[in-house]
A = this chain, B = another copy of it.
C-alpha cells in the first residue's frame, strides 16, 4: 500500500502521514526500490490509533506516551488513567471558559439590533468605552466591579 492509498483508507492527508512519521509517532515503513513508502496492515492500525486519539483531542505528546504503554504492557496503567483524567479536566475547563465567552459575546451582540452607522453602533461604543476603563456588558454582567479587566481566556 502506497501512502496515497493509506491516506484514502484513513481519511488522513498524505502530508500529515509524513509529518507523523517525522515526529516519530508512526514507524518508518519499508521503501520500494524507488524510495516509495510501502505500508502494511500494522501501520494502518498505528495510524488509526493516532487518529482516534487525535479525535479525542489528545496532543501528539500524549499519543506518544500511550503508544509507549501499548508497547510495554507489563507496566501499571495508572499513568494512562491520569493522562485521560488530565485530558478530561482540560476539556472541561475549555468548555467552561468558552461558555462564558459565548455569554459575553451575546451580551455584546445585544447592544446593536438595527443597522445604522458605526458612530451609533452599541457594540463598538461598548468596546471603546471599555477600553477607556468604563464597565461593559460583556465583562460586568450584573453591576459588578467596574475595575480591572480580567484576562478570562488563558489558552484556547
Q: Chain A: residues with CB nearer than 8 A to chain B?
A: 11, 45-46, 48-49, 51-57, 66, 69-70, 72-78, 80-81, 84-85, 87-88, 91-92, 94-95, 98-99, 101-102, 104-106, 108-109, 112, 115-121, 123-124, 127-128, 130-133, 136, 138-139, 148-153, 156
CB distance from A115 to the nearest CB of B (A): 5
Main secondary structure of the interface of A (DSSP, over half): helix
B73–A117 CB distance below 8 A: yes
Q: Are B118 and A76 in contact (CB under 8 A)?
A: yes
Contacts of A72 in B (CB 8 A): 118
B123/A109 in contact, CB under 8 A? no
